Amino acid sequence: MTTKRKVILDCDPGQDDAVAILLALASTEIELLAITAVAGNIGIGKTSLNARAVVELAGAETPVYAGCPRPLVRDPVDAAHIHGDSGIDGATLKPPVRPLAAGHAVDFIRDTVRAQPDGEITLVAIGPLTNLAAVLIQAPDVARRVREIVLMGGAIGLGNTTPAAEFNIYADPHAAHVVFTSGARIVMTPLELTHQVLATQDRIQAIRALGSEPARQIAGILDAYPKTTHFGATGGPLHDPCAVAWLLWPELMGGKECRVEIEMSSGPSLGRTVIEWRRQKREANALVLEQVDHATLFQRLIERFAIFR
């Protein structure tokens, strides 16, 4: 019998965050200890509410903790122009019944990691890295205690929010710097990988055809989700589910151990992930994933979502 991976999912739901939460909840390989919310795609009031609504959509009781309401240093930015004013455009979710868990997300993450044997907890971060940075500033020992930090963020090349920067890193570059210099093992799913995992019309239809309420909501979200074209296919890139998928099916992804640095000076490169991709001169601090068997991954996603009734 394989043991489940203990996971804390830090997120800013967010359309693709919602799909990532549902993937984690549908996966018996994952023991989801808690969801921690951070400000990002929309403010903390809505991300923490949306996370609870998605948990209840899945019929789960995973606790949701609210975390940091703003980035460490820079002025807040959001992505309401992508995810809508609710944060989850395309979904019609019931307001959650269960309240937020008592306490701050940062305290919960720190105390939970310390309470478990070293190497036990995986932190999956699919929003700006503010909560994780606050934990690592308060408690640097958390970096060596976690099994790994798996994050959606950054790009090897061009960004999606500015020419240089991907949203999660751009929204809190100083937090990203704290995380990437913490010494924790980091696995990064950048835009080059996530832009291959597209929710095309056929794939959305296959999810809708599953017939359950969660499946219908996922299809609604993916219909509303802005589309991009990659290698001739058009669809919404499933950024955040890729980080959860790494926990489930690492054999479908490939990449390189690299040194990653974060551009923090103001100006056009703010939030860029500067990656030693071609010439690796310095010690690596992250596994940067780039290749993905997206057809198999998407097929498995659909199969997973069939678990919902």
Q: Catalogue the active-site residues.
A: 239
Residue selected from 10, 166, 263, 276 as contacting ligand BDR according to rule CB under 6 A: 166
Residue 172 lies near Ca ion (rule: CB under 5 A): no
Question: Which of the listed partners (Ca ion, ligand BDR, none) does 166 bind, with a CB threshold of 5 to 8 Å by partner kind?
Answer: ligand BDR
The token pair that represents 136 in the structure block = 């690592």
* Binding to Ca ion in span 88-147, by CB under 5 A: 126-127
Residue 172 lies near ligand BDR (rule: CB under 6 A): no
Please, which residue, 225 or 305, has the CB nearer to ligand BDR?
A: 225
Query: Which residue, among 218, 195, 194, has the nearest Cα to 205 in the 3D structure?
Result: 218
Per-residue string for binding with ligand BDR, 112-151, x by CB under 6 A?
Answer: --------------xx------------------------
Residue 175 lies near ligand BDR (rule: CB under 6 A): no
DSSP string, the chain: -PPPEEEEEEE---HHHHHHHHHHHT-TTEEEEEEEE-SSSS-HHHHHHHHHHHHHHTT----EEE--SS-SSSPP---HHHH-TTSSTT--PPPPSSPPPSS-HHHHHHHHHHHSPTT-EEEEE-S-SHHHHHHHHH-TTHHHHSSEEEEE---SS--SSSSS--HHHHH-HHHHHHHHTS---EEEE-HHHHTTSEE-HHHHHHHHTT-SHHHHHHHHHHHHSPPEEETTEEEEE-HHHHHHHHHH-GGGEEEEEE-EEE--SSSTTTT-EEE--SS--S---EEEEEEE-HHHHHHHHHHHHTT--
Residue 180 lies near ligand BDR (rule: CB under 6 A): no
Residue selected from 17, 56, 263, 276 as contacting Ca ion according to rule CB under 5 A: 17
Residue 16 lies near ligand BDR (rule: CB under 6 A): yes
Name the residue with the smallest CB distance to ligand BDR. 167
Q: How many residues belong to the site for ligand BDR (CB under 6 A)?
A: 15
C-beta of 308: minimal distance to ligand BDR in Å? 21
Per-residue string for binding with ligand BDR, 48-67, x by CB under 6 A?
Answer: --------------------
Residue selected from 18, 25, 58, 79 as contacting ligand BDR according to rule CB under 6 A: 79
Binding site for ligand BDR (CB under 6 A): 14, 16-17, 41, 79, 82, 126-127, 152, 160, 166-168, 239-240
Binding site for Ca ion (CB under 5 A): 12, 14, 17, 126-127, 240
